[in-house]
Amino acid sequence: MKKRIAIFASGSGSNAQKIMELFKNSPDAEIALVLTNNPEAYVLQRADNFEIPSHIFDRKEFYETDDIIELLKNLEIDLIVLAGFLWLIPKNLIAEYPGRIVNIHPAILPKFGGKGMYGDHVHKAVMAAGETEGGITIHYVNENYDEGEYIYQAKYKIEKGDNLEMIKFKGQQLEHQHYPRIVESILKKIKK
C-alpha cells in the first residue's frame, strides 16, 4: 500500500513541484491531492502537469465544515504537507491528523515567525534586522502559526550586498533541497 500525501498550497507551488517530482515514480508513496484556497494559484497548473487531482475551497468550507477532513479521509491521506499555504490550520484538522501535518517556513524559527510572516514579509524582516544568516525551518503544525515542533533547520549566509531577490533565492534553494527529503523521511515513520 502506497502512503498518500495531500499538499496544501496558496501560491506558485515551487516546493509542491519538488515534492511531486520526488514521488512521481515512487513505489512507496504518492501525491493523492493538491488543495488550495486560491483559484488563481499556479500550483493548480503544476498539479495538472503531474496529473494530480486538485480541490479548491473557500474559508467557509475550511473553517465551518468537516468537508476537507472527509475528503482527506476518503482518499486515505497519511500525511499533509503545507507548501506556501497561508491560512491557519483549524483545530479539527489538527486533531484528525496529529503529528501528520508539516510546514516549511522561510526563516530560522522562532525568529521571524507568526501571523503575517510569510514569503517576502519574512525576508524583508530578516534584512531589516541586519541578520548575517537566513534559513528555513521545517516543522510540525499545531494550532498557532509557526509554533509546532521543529523537524529540521538549515541556514545560509547573508552577504553584505545581498538584496531581497538574492536572499529569496538562497532560501528557496535550501527549501527545494531539503523539504522533499524531510517529507520522505517523515513518511517512512508513519505506519500504514
Residue type (1 letter), 185: S
User: Which pTM does this prediction carry?
Assistant: 0.97
> Alpha-carbon distance 133 to 84, whole Å?
21
Where along the chain do its domains lie? 3-189
Active site (catalytic) residues: 105
Write the pLDDT tens digit of every residue in 123-174.
Answer: 999 999 999 999 999 999 999 999 999 999 999 999 999 999 999 999 999 9
- Per CATH, which fold does 3-189 belong to? Rossmann fold (3.40.50)
Residue 9, number of CB atoms within 10 A of its CB: 28
